[in-house]
């Protein structure tokens, strides 16, 4: 049985997008293969957990709307009626027999090949609901006030303050309003439909679904009725409201009884005593989205030039064994050439399944990993005493226990794995002579708020021949996030043939059985990355903290 193909059929079945031919094939697999029925049940339970988790997040907001949907476990059962009746009866009877099967596997069920890898229950963990109210969409030439957290494109924003020293940022609120904020500014995100401008200047674009969007200032409240308007608060706290399209309501001193409606080309200024002084709207004094786009394009061009400096450093470094910059030579490029000057020219990466997409900037290439078969196949022979792994990654989701960055598949001492866990940790491990793993996980670094944003991940491995210890250090965006020194029997890493963004193992294929692989969990071999990669390197040497910081500075998105 082709496990990847069957996985695709399962997901099509659960999403109700099967063709008649696929449904017939799916039915036959369920009828004839115990392994297929087992795999179906595993995936169905994962879908059920995801459904329950999603409804728990949305139920309070949608009220009775959620009552229109069945819970996922029930839906999974009833979805089987889409398969032919005989298969439905068979599978349902099997499921009823499996219903009390525990979610975890006893130690005796684990193969000797994999007992030392961490195992987690199949059920999805209870992920805390996101408090995001807006998303950062553009930050050309931005500078943040001292002590403020630097934000990047794609970052999800929770309620709180933005202290902008200079530059421009664009914010997309969850209900649909967009705000272009110019520095210097002090701006508070209150909710998905409300904000507070203490000082600074903004231009708001409010489509029909976002009507009612509110912006407060020290001396007035503006309520939108589907419009485009400018709002500024000077150093004295006096506010100006300029309406370019549509209609807004202005409440001086937040007094509803004194509210005034403004339409296109009208403007007012707050005067002493809360009086509204009429004036002409001045669109040119507020940056619009066209100007923002021009600035962002210029900023991307500058960022690409800065990145090329760091790229050249990696390419020419004497320790760089592998370097892929993901700049495609033509639309149908299916090979990444090893650009490391001192590396092996034959160490090309073969592209399987992945699609070419944009990377950190519009002119930066990247490969997208989204299907079970998407992967890069690479060979780098030779043991490594000291080495560093570098990758620029955009993570879209973390559905698996291990989401592959690189995965070896030798099942021999020296086999190396680098991955992101389902909880968002960076994981790294090397199989030793006792068939155990010398491994270390960082604290969680990928959260619901950071998914969809580009991050630079670095892991540095240092082996000590004298006393048998190793030092493993993880970095994110130029900063150390965790380090550990471990003792005990160790084997030098040997990448050999490995994959970027996936894992080749398919437990039902004879080659893996012959190599001694036995999965503890039928879903455990699925480790495909969901996201994008636009730069990757392996160095036969140790990157210093300063080296990592330099690479981050040259490659940062803003």
Question: How many C-alpha atoms does 251 have within 13 Å on its Cβ side?
Answer: 13
Give residue 538's pLDDT.
96
Per-residue confidence band for 203, with pLDDT thresholds at 50, 70 and 90:
very high
Arithmetic mean of pLDDT, 83-92:
40
Mean pLDDT score of the chain: 80
Is the predicted pLDDT of residue 11 greater than 90, yes or no?
no
pLDDT digits 0-9 by tens, 482-500: 999 887 777 888 888 999 9
pLDDT digits 0-9 by tens, 204-233: 999 999 999 999 999 999 999 988 999 999
pLDDT digits 0-9 by tens, 117-143: 333 333 444 445 557 899 988 777 788
Percent of the chain predicted with pLDDT > 70: 77
pLDDT digits 0-9 by tens, 330-386: 777 899 999 999 998 889 999 999 999 999 988 899 999 998 889 999 999 888 889
Identify which has the larger pLDDT, 358 or 71: 358
CA pair distance 519, 538, nearest whole angstrom: 29
Arithmetic mean of pLDDT, 158-187:
93
Per-residue confidence band for 16, with pLDDT thresholds at 50, 70 and 90:
low
Is the predicted pLDDT of residue 326 greater than 70, yes or no?
yes
Give residue 144's pLDDT.
87
Per-residue confidence band for 44, with pLDDT thresholds at 50, 70 and 90:
low
Residues with Cβ within 8 Å of residue 76, at least 6 apart in sequence: 14, 44, 47, 48
Identify which has the larger pLDDT, 496 or 173: 173
Report the range of poorest mean pLDDT among 21-35, 281-295, 305-319. 21-35
CA distances, 367 to each of 217, 326, 333, 448, 453 (Å): 45, 7, 11, 22, 15
What three-state secondary structure class fits 513?
Answer: helix
Q: Which residues of 479-516 are buried (b: 16+ CB within 10 A; e: fewer)?
A: eebbeeeeeeebbbbbbbebbbbbbbbbbbeeebeeee
Per-residue confidence band for 324, with pLDDT thresholds at 50, 70 and 90:
very high
Is the predicted pLDDT of residue 52 greater than 50, yes or no?
no
Report the range of poorest mean pLDDT among 50-54, 455-459, 480-484. 50-54
Task: Output the pTM of the full model.
Answer: 0.64
pLDDT digits 0-9 by tens, 386-439: 999 999 999 999 999 899 999 988 888 888 999 999 999 999 998 888 878 888
Identify which has the larger pLDDT, 264 or 5: 264
β-sheet bridge partners, residue 390: 458, 537
């Amino acid at each position: 049985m082709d496990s990847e193909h069957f996985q695709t059929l399962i997901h099509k079945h659960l999403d109700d997008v099967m063709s008649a031919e696929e449904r017939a094939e799916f039915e036959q697999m369920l009828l004839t293969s115990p392994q297929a029925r087992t795999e179906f049940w595993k995936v169905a339970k994962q879908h059920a957990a995801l459904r329950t988790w999603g409804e728990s997040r949305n139920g309070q907001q949608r009220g009775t709307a959620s009552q229109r949907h069945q819970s996922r476990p029930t839906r999974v059962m009833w979805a089987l009626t889409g398969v032919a009746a005989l298969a439905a009866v068979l599978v349902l009877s099997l499921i009823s027999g499996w219903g009390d099967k525990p979610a975890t596997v006893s130690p005796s069920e684990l193969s000797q090949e994999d007992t030392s890898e961490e195992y987690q229950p199949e059920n999805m963990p209870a992920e805390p609901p996101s408090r995001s109210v807006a998303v950062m969409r553009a930050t050309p030439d931005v500078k943040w006030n001292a002590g403020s957290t630097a934000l990047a494109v794609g970052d999800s924003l929770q309620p709180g303050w933005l202290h902008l020293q200079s530059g421009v940022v664009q914010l997309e609120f969850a209900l649909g309003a967009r705000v272009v904020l110019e520095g210097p500014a002090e701006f508070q995100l209150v909710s998905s439909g409300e904000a507070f401008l203490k000082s600074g200047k903004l231009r708001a674009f409010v489509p029909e679904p976002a009507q009612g969007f509110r912006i407060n200032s020290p001396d007035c409240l503006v309520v939108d009725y589907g419009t485009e308007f400018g709002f500024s608060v000077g150093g004295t706290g006096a506010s100006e409201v300029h309406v370019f399209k549509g209609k807004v309501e202005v409440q001086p001193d937040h007094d509803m009884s004194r509210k005034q409606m403004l339409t296109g080309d009208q403007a007012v200024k707050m005067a002493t005593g809360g009086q509204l002084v009429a004036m002409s709207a001045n669109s040119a004094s507020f940056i619009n989205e066209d100007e923002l786009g021009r600035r962002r394009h210029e900023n991307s061009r500058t960022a690409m030039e800065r990145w090329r400096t760091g790229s050249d450093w990696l390419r020419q470094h004497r320790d760089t064994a592998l370097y892929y910059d993901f700049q495609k030579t033509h639309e149908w490029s299916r090979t990444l050439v090893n650009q490391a000057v001192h590396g092996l020219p034959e160490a090309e990466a073969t592209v399987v399944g992945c699609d070419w997409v944009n990377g950190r900037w519009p002119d930066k290439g990247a490969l997208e990993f989204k299907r079970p078969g998407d992967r890069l196949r690479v060979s780098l022979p030779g043991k490594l005493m000291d080495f560093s792994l570098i990758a620029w990654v955009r993570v879209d989701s973390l559905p698996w226990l291990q989401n592959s960055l690189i995965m070896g598949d030798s099942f021999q001492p020296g086999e190396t794995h680098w991955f992101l866990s389902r909880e968002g940790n960076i994981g790294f491990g090397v199989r030793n002579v006792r068939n155990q793993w010398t491994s270390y996980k960082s604290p969680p670094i990928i959260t619901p708020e950071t998914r969809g944003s580009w991050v630079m991940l670095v892991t540095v491995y240092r082996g000590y021949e004298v006393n048998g210890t190793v030092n493993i250090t993880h970095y994110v965006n130029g900063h150390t996030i965790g380090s550990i020194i471990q003792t005990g029997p160790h084997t030098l890493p040997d990448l050999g043939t490995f994959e970027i963004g996936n894992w080749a193992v398919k437990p039902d294929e004879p080659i893996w059985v012959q190599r001694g692989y036995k999965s503890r969990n039928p879903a455990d071999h699925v480790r495909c990355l969901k996201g994008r990669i636009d730069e990757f390197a392996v160095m036969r040497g140790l990157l210093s903290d300063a080296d990592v910081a330099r690479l981050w500075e040259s490659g940062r998105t803003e």
